[in-house]
Amino acid sequence: MDLTNNTFIFDSETEGLQYLKHLAGGKSGKTMGWYNGKDEPLDINYMFVDPATLKLGWTLWTKQQSETIWLSDPNDKVPAPTAEHKQSFSIWVYPKYVKDSQNFDHGSMLWQRDSKGEFFGFQEMMRQIAQELLNPEYATLLPVFEVKDSVAIWEGSSAKPVFEFKGFKPRPEGFVIPDLPQESGAVISPNNSPAASDSTIVDDEIPF
């Protein structure tokens, strides 16, 4: 399947692929929070993130179709092709819900969006780990974030998800990225191998 024609397709259109999105609620009639691509609400309070899968780009919407120009290097400073293009990001995550005796995994999900609120939340998430990712000791581990209450912005027309970096953990065995066609301009080298279970570089505040 060629994903370049619509980079924001729903779960039902791609077998084995789950999308993650954060909605502001408001006019949509939905409660502010996390949803999958089928608009089913998700309880999430922790999230593994795979920085190796990070992509940035510019998306242009035409009616119900979208076309995204993904940068070959997310560090590149490339201006918007037109005033109608929106900043976009894409990253694979592994959301969880952990409370008391509950410990539920939502599986591998693609958080690939162009809403301003989500983009701001994503930026703040990545700023928290920018320096830590330079440390070679963490090369085989993944950052874990606590998912906090969201913040409504622009009079509720958008919402910014809020994250707090908690530390590094070995990759969960279930965090496997599907083998999908690559979008034009994308360079992804995900590490699907779980880190050694005896790794000591973890944060004791993470309850799993």
Strand spans (E) along 124-197: 141-147, 151-153, 158-160, 163-170
pTM beyond 0.95 = no
Q: pLDDT value at position 179?
A: 78
Q: pLDDT value at position 67?
A: 87
Q: How many helices and strands (H and E) does the chain possess?
A: 1, 12
Q: Around Cβ 205, how many Cβ atoms within 10 Å?
A: 10
Q: pLDDT value at position 59?
A: 92
Task: Please provide residue 24's backbone torsions phi and psi, each rounded to the nearest 5 degrees.
Answer: -80, -20
Report how far residue 130's alpha carbon sits from residue 53's, in angstroms, rounded to the nearest whole number: 15
Query: Do 117 and 159 meet the contact criterion of CB atoms below 8 Å apart?
Result: yes
- Where do the H-state alpha helices sit in the chain? 116-127
Q: pLDDT value at position 186?
A: 40
Q: Residues in the chain with pLDDT < 70?
A: 1-16, 26-28, 154-156, 180-204
